[in-house]
Amino acid sequence: MSSYPHSGPPQKTTLRQRLADLRGPAVPPRPLDARALAALAANPGCGRRALLDGAGVDKTALAAALGSPAAFGQSQFAIIRGNSFEAKVKADGGAELLRLVHRHLGGGAEPPGSGARVPELTAAGPEGRAARTALALREATAAGAWTLLDHPMLALEVAGTPAYLEPDAVVVHPDGRWTVVEIKSFPLVDGAADPAKVGAAARQAAVYVLALEKTAEKLPTASVGHSVLLVCPKDFSNLPAAAPLDVRRERSVTLRQLDRLTRVEELAAALPEGLTFDPARPAEELTEAVAAVSAAYAPECLAACELAFHCRERARAAGEAAALGRGVRGELGGFTTVEEALAAAAGGGSPDDPTAAALEHAARLRAEALREAACR
């Protein structure tokens, strides 16, 4: 039986009040950053994450209250190493960084010289820094010269509230094109890097591209490049190397997810009256509240979502095939649980189902292999 209190006739509440009720009356909204928005794009089917992020719920505190605290994040050593590498890339007025941008995404423009611009972007608060960045972008585009914006502040409206985003760098080309630069500390070995890390960097850069496009809409001579530059150490050294990334697909997925967040009112309206994700509530009540929102757990969530350990535990308890990975889930077709797949492998599936036939055949081959191994 639900523990949520019954109320009389439904009262009309504003969206702001509804989201405040979901967070808890004394819990301020947690602002979204580029990593959180990129994680949304990595798992677009997860309604749980879309609602919690759209409502500004502190998922770290929620995971701790559920008894499954998040255990991911960069080590202090990795942060120091990353900061040191970024400082090296941007040394001497960003000369090496601008050279890499010209080499990979220059588009035939003259190479940047010693007079490249690096405007000052200091201002009070994120709103002031975002306004100062917008002004610097306009001035650089009008000047028609190579310009490096070091840690600019971009604003992107998410579910009716501005999210302030800080890319590593944005370069303005002489032709008015704006390029996002992502500086990461993982290596490029022989021109290639860990695909999972590159994918995460591409999704994060796509968020910055979307934010830049909002500013570029007001400038007819400006355009935002959909190819961003990934800068990493070369072959485990401290020397910078770069590779362009086409983020058009990631941009489209993120845009769809942001559109879902703008409809967070519809997601909230489907929940029981009185439901809350306030970390101060008992763990049993929070478990019931989280279960009321559909999730799409996959092992990749462990590297991107604070609730991943809780969702993994629930997915395993329910025998969900997705807990074994998206690849396994895709191969199993219409079988959504491990129990269904095992039953099909034992001959309990439909003879007309090719997935059931493949599972049964694989089970026979496995049994034969085990018999042969036992006879040796």
Quote the pLDDT of residue 6. 47
- pLDDT-derived band at 13 (thresholds 50, 70, 90) equals low
- pLDDT-derived band at 123 (thresholds 50, 70, 90) equals very high
pLDDT at 276 over 80: yes
By three-state DSSP, how is residue 177 classified?
strand
- pLDDT-derived band at 281 (thresholds 50, 70, 90) equals very high
d(CA 49, CA 36): 10
108 vs 38 pLDDT, higher one: 38
pLDDT at 54 over 50: yes
CB 40 within 8 A of CB 205: no
By three-state DSSP, how is residue 367 classified?
helix
Tokens of 68: 């499954």
What is the rounded average pLDDT of the residues 172-188? 94
Q: Which residues contact 75 (CB under 8 A, 6 or more apart)?
A: none
pLDDT at 344 over 90: no
- pLDDT-derived band at 227 (thresholds 50, 70, 90) equals very high
Quote the pLDDT of residue 262. 63
pLDDT at 336 over 60: yes
pLDDT in tens, 289-306: 999 998 889 888 888 889
Low-confidence winner among 54-58, 97-101, 174-178 (lowest mean pLDDT): 54-58
CB 288 within 8 A of CB 309: no
Residue with tokens 């599936």: 349
Burial class (CB in 10 A: 0-12, 13-18, 19+), 179: buried
pLDDT at 74 over 70: no
Tokens of 87: 């400082």
351 vs 131 pLDDT, higher one: 131
Low-confidence winner among 5-19, 85-99, 261-275 (lowest mean pLDDT): 5-19
First to last CA, the chain: 57
The full length of the chain comes to: 376
Closest CA to 57 of 333, 318, 222, 271: 271
Residue with tokens 């279960």: 291
| Threshold 0.95, pTM exceeds | no
What is the rounded average pLDDT of the residues 343-364? 88
Q: Which run of H or of E encompasses 262?
A: helix 248-262
Say which DSSP state 322 is in: G
- pLDDT-derived band at 5 (thresholds 50, 70, 90) equals very low
- pLDDT-derived band at 72 (thresholds 50, 70, 90) equals low
- pLDDT-derived band at 327 (thresholds 50, 70, 90) equals confident
Average pLDDT score, the chain: 87
Phi, psi at 46, each rounded to 5°: -90, 100
